[in-house]
Amino acid sequence: MADIKLLFRTIAVAALGLVAAACTAPSANDVAEPQTAMMMQLTANTKSEGFFAGFPDAFFVVGKVNNKAPMGMLVDTGSTAGLTVSDQDLDKLGIPPEQIMRRGTIHTPIGEAGSSAPVFHLDLQIGGCELKDVSGAAVPGEVRANFPSGMALLGTDALRRLSIYMRGDQMTLSCEGNKQEQFPPSDFSRRKFVFPITANNQPLQALFDTGAAVLIVSDQDLGQLGVKPAQIIAQGRAVFLSGIASMGPVFPLNLQLGVGAHKCELKNIRAMAAHLPSGTALFGRSAQRPLDIRMQGDRMTLSC
């Protein structure tokens, strides 16, 4: 078994990942009941109606913010803030104006999505895990159409305080025995898992993104990737927080991760082209499913 160990602590650009369009937001009744143990078992979403239709194969967990009412959270490694919510939900989550530390800019893989996002700290309760002083961000009104009230993204500043194991449709979250490191509030935007991959023999820089259903590549790279019209099996649609909807073809790609003896080869991985910068990719759920994935702190191990 080949292991690819990736350690990235200072990636400079913050992103909120891929968000699919949805007409209603998840509630605690829509997802699994809260678990009180310090280890939680999650199963990837298989629902095809309502909010969940926009997030096939995504993982959802129920948690509490500042000990308030439970809410459904999408596990999203493409989001660097510990928790991202709508600015409409700040009051009911117990985040008054005086707790807003500053206002920042939201970045997505295709550019800025808002320049007045409130940034703050909060406490999270996820099952039996207590996460203190987690960084939070709120999606401002100018991009709120793609981020309805009641929706939340559980991002890397929270996830890095847990031990995570993923394989296929299963995810295990655990905090038992974990030492919770504390980091400067301004530092959360630097923490993402970005690593090199090869797609159809073309090198790409990939962001590990559990919020994306498939591997997403740049539509500028289709020629270099050698994608032929006969290989296109469907047309897909991605909606980013910037409000830009990207339509693109869906097709299979062959991937390689690692080098030499430490190499994973993934055949016929479902991919989609969208308006990403050339040479970049979102390593979504279709590429993650064949791998054993372990995450703890700033370390990720991918095994095949």
pLDDT of residue 185: 41
pLDDT of residue 44: 81
Most confident of 31-40, 136-145, 235-244: 136-145
Cα–Cα–Cα angle for 246, 290, 229, rounded to 5 degrees? 40
C-alpha to C-alpha distance for 249 and 272, rounded to whole angstroms: 6
CB 57 within 8 A of CB 45: yes
First to last CA, the chain: 6
The 10s digit of each residue's pLDDT in 250-271 is: 999 999 998 666 789 999 999 9
pLDDT of residue 252: 97
Nearby residues of 270 by Cβ (< 8 Å), 6 or more positions away: 214, 215, 250, 251, 252, 286
pLDDT of residue 265: 94
The 10s digit of each residue's pLDDT in 60-102 is: 888 899 888 788 888 999 888 889 888 888 888 888 887 888 8
The 10s digit of each residue's pLDDT in 286-303 is: 999 999 999 988 889 999
Which ranges in the chain are annotated with CATH 2.40.70.10?
12-184, 194-303
**Closest by CA position to 133, among listed 122, 142, 124, 143:** 122
Give the mean pLDDT of the chain: 77
- Percentage of the chain beyond pLDDT 90 is 34
Reported as a pLDDT band with limits 50, 70 and 90, residue 146 is low
- Whether residue 55 has pLDDT greater than 90: no
pLDDT of residue 50: 52
Sign, CA dihedral 276-279-280-283, equals: positive
pLDDT of residue 91: 86
pLDDT of residue 177: 55
User: Which CATH code, of 3.40.50.20, 3.20.20.10, 3.40.980.10, 2.40.70.10, is assigned to 194-303?
Assistant: 2.40.70.10
127: left (phi over 0), alpha (psi -120 to 50) or beta: left
pLDDT of residue 189: 42
C-alpha to C-alpha distance for 256 and 201, rounded to whole angstroms: 8
- Whether residue 20 has pLDDT greater than 60: no
Sign, CA dihedral 83-89-95-100, equals: positive
**Closest by CA position to 217, among listed 197, 193, 192:** 197
CB 161 within 8 A of CB 180: yes
Fold of 12-184: Cathepsin D, subunit A; domain 1 (2.40.70)
The 10s digit of each residue's pLDDT in 149-207 is: 888 889 988 999 999 999 999 999 998 655 544 444 434 445 678 999 999 999 999 99
Count CB atoms within 10 A of the CB of residue 184. 8
pLDDT of residue 28: 44
37-48 mean pLDDT: 70
C-alpha to C-alpha distance for 256 and 25, rounded to whole angstroms: 36
Nearby residues of 193 by Cβ (< 8 Å), 6 or more positions away: 6, 8, 77, 156, 207, 208, 295, 300
- Whether residue 216 has pLDDT greater than 60: yes
